[in-house]
Structure 1
Amino acid sequence: MFKVSVIIPVYNAEEYLEESLDSVFNQTLDDIEIICVDDGSTDNSWKMLNDFADTHKNMKIFHQENNGGGAARNYALDYVEGKYIYFMDADDILDLNALKECYEISEEKNLDFLIFKAINYDEDTDSYYDTPIYLMDELHEFVGDKVFSFDDLGDYIFKINVTPWSKFYNSEFVRATGSKFAEGLIFHDNIFYWGIIFHAKRIQFYDKVLYTRRRHSKSSTGAGDQRFVSTLAINNLIIQRFIENNHLEEYKKRIYNRKINLAFMRYKEVHDQYKEYFYEKMKEDFSKLIGHEQYDDCMKNLFIFNRNRFESVVYSNNFEEFKILVRNATLRKENSALNAKIKKAEKLDAPLNNLKTWKLISG
């Protein structure tokens, strides 16, 4: 048995593959295996994988017809021989001490999985930058350095970055959960995370950046194209995970609002030429809730702004009308927030006004 199995899905990554694989092969931890699944690449990636495999006996390579990174990761899981599993992307960089440090902590604490930080690299500007979602400082402030479980987290389950490359998994634990990645969809790592987290009894947060995520327009989640409609199916699968694990009632306000928020976040990120297509798919998805047994419960738990956005989708007659309704909903929210600030300011100023009045009367 290897200490760690590193799983890397590969799709048209020839520009970055050598640097990425070097960061794995040069790890300070011995006794690891690398499992790469080529997802129907049309560039030189498959040949590069074969060249690496010829000189690295601890490397397994497989090829599948293009079906997405989720399917590639699921394929690789069947060939894992390591005590631990680490997933990474073929265009990113792993700190050379990452696997050694994660392995030693996980062994010492008998963890189901370890969480750590990541940093972004923008290849267009050749610069590094932090984002809260990959630093997870709120989570670390809450859990500290102690071992914790799902039951300890409450709403902090939503503060954990869902990406698999920010975690170091115990293989036996992963198998016991039966969790898999969504196939044929982008944002597929959400489903793996929500299949894992409910079962976790021993988790720890490691307050260190061990991974560099490369940001570029060629990646599936950076393309902003029609594939972004995957978020709609992913959101529904997430809700299903909560239902299956009997946690929907507990988290329904967060989950229902999250569905609307994520849909509109992806709508905002998608390029202009795909926005009408995204709207049509969003209308198709949201309209399924009309008449559904969960409709009343969902509407009751949506914040007013999200209920207005939901209605702007399902009750608009066309894309142009939808844009007007969304703009109006946004303006109502902004006006409401402004009025709340004015009222708060007036309330804070009230004692000062009273003092001025008392001085005028007494003076």
Structure 2
Amino acid sequence: MEPHKISVVVPIFKVEKYLNRCVDSIINQTYSNLEIILVDDGSPDACGMIAEEYATSDNRIKVVHKKNGGLSDARNFGIQYVTGEYILFVDSDDWLEKTMIEKMINISLSYNADVVQSAFYYAYEDYLLFDNRYYQKDDPPIVLDNISLMTELVVNERVKNFAWGKLYKTEIIRDISFKKGVLFEDVFWAHNVMHRVNSYVIINEPLCYYFQRSDSIVSTYTTRNLDIIMGLKERHCFIEEFYKDLICQSFKVILNTCLIHYYLLLANRKIDVKGKYRKEIKNYIKSNYRHFKESVKNDTSLRNKLFLFSIHPFLYFCFLILTKVLRKISILPHPAPLEKRGYSN
């Protein structure tokens, strides 16, 4: 058996339809020295029973049941049972290529990496999307030191905030808990982990499938989606303390996120009838205008959006609508599409 044990933590809640696909993709990995921790987060469907059935047929599987507390609470609970040298988080509606873990542990050992990140597919019911804007599938691994990693994390293009799709040395993350009761919990967590990382390796080959469910908690817009702004603000305080050279980039990301959510709140006025949340965003941008203006001085598009918003948010809204219309009639170019393919390819 392979010498290094890898613990795979799978939080489970109301995924009866997808659970077999997920667990099958883990137990059939070409790397076999696994500890598979299935965390039944008080799921009201048959998930707990399905998980127990797997445990009877595979002694690598440990099932733990708990009262429902959300994704963060389930991950935190699962980590308590980890005995492996490495940890991989898998969301229970996603699935893995059968060679994913073998390839990731080999890269980790070859580069002495604290964390290894795999590329992934956005998986829809009928097709897959691969983000090929920043790298190609056959590109060699990318090695990042701590400063480069934190820069990429803040930019959120090549290094995503997602906790899943990454193989971590257990010692790096064991004592860093996920924030409970929030959406986009990974945004609150990732920077604390990456701060400890000396060597981070990106595998450009997509080895996992990020399923895009129409009924997922993030697919229907609610005020809970605003948690991401709270997470970015919390991270910004961390950046100000430890990575001062990234302060402008952090402000830029916060501004762009605030503007996006102001538009979404305006488009979904029924959930912000009195404009409470829009007012909070507007006041925050106003109070930090000087910092935001400095951060976008080299970004024409975002600079224009900030300028229009500062005059009146409605002008920003009109600008977005006009941009959308001009793209539709091909006067303005569309953003480059992601690579698309079917499952049979």
Give the TM-score normalised by the residue count of structure 2: 0.79
Single out whichever of 42-51 and 87-96 deviates more from structure 2. 42-51
In the alignment, is the contact (CA less than 8 A) between 2:87 and 2:169 conserved in 1? yes
Match of 1:301 in 2: 295
Q: CA deviation at 1:225?
A: 3.2
Equivalent position of 1:235 in the other structure:
232
Name the SS for the 2:187 alignment partner. helix
Letter in 2 for 1:172: E
Structure 2 CA distance for partners of 1:153 and 1:193, relative to 1, 3 Å:
closer
Structure of larger gyration radius: 1
Q: Distance in 1 between matches of 2:228 and 2:49?
A: 33
Q: Measure how far apart 1:307 and its partner are.
A: 3.3
The Cα of 1:277 is off from its aligned counterpart by 5.9
The amino acid across from 2:188 in the alignment is: I
The 8 Å contact of residues 13 and 45 in structure 1, kept in 2 or not, is answered as yes
In the other structure, the counterpart of 1:29 is 31
Mean Cα displacement is larger for which, 302-311 or 158-167?
A: 302-311
In 2, distance between residues paired with 1:190 and 1:274? 27
1:359 alignment partner in structure 2: none
Instruction: Confirm or deny that 1:251 pairs with 2:246.
Output: yes
User: What are the within-5 Å matches in structure 2 for residues 185-200 of structure 1?
Assistant: 185-200=182-197
Which residue of the partner structure matches residue 111 of structure 2?
Answer: 109
Answer yes or no: is the 8 Å Cα contact 1:308–1:329 preserved in 2: no
Distance 1:241 1:11, change over 3 A: farther
Cα displacement (A) at 1:38? 2.2
The residue number in structure 2 matching 1:85 is 87
Partners in 2 of 1:281 and 1:250 — Cα distance? 30
Alignment RMSD, CA only? 3.2
Q: Does 1:326 align with 2:328?
A: no
Aligned pairs for 1:125-144 within 5 A: 126-132=126-132, 136-137=134-135
Q: How many residues align?
A: 314
Counterpart code for 1:167: K
Give distance in 1, aligned partners of 2:238 and 2:39. Answer: 27
Question: Deviation digits for residues 5-48 of structure 1, max 9, x if unmatched?
Answer: 00111110000001110101111112201112222322221222
Map of 1:169 onto structure 2: 168
Gaps of 5+ in 1: 317-321, 335-340, 342-363
Following superposition, the deviation at residue 118 of structure 1 comes to 0.4
Equivalent residue for 1:263?
258
Partner of 1:208: 205
Q: Note if contact 2:25-2:95 (Cα within 8 Å) is conserved in structure 1.
A: yes
Q: Given that residues 9 and 90 in structure 2 are in contact (C-alpha distance below 8 angstroms), is that contact kept between their aligned partners in structure 1?
A: yes
List per-residue Cα deviations over 1:266-318 (Å, max 9, x = no partner).
45567736563695324225535766xx6644454355335346647xxx7xx
**Which of residues 31, 42, 45 in structure 2 aligns to 1:43?**
45
1:304-341: per-residue Cα shift (whole Å, max 9, x none)? 335346647xxx7xxxxx5x24325558999xxxxxx9
Following TM superposition, by how much is the alpha carbon of 1:183 offset from its aligned partner in structure 2, in angstroms? 1.6
Matches of 2:317 and 2:284, distance apart in 1: 24
The gaps in structure 2 that reach 5 residues or longer are 298-302, 325-330, 332-345
**Displacement of 1:74:** 1.7
Which structure carries more helix by proportion? Answer: 1
Letter in 2 for 1:15: K
Residue type matched to 2:237 in 1? Q
| 2:327 equivalent in structure 1 | none
Q: Which amino acid aligns with 2:316?
A: V
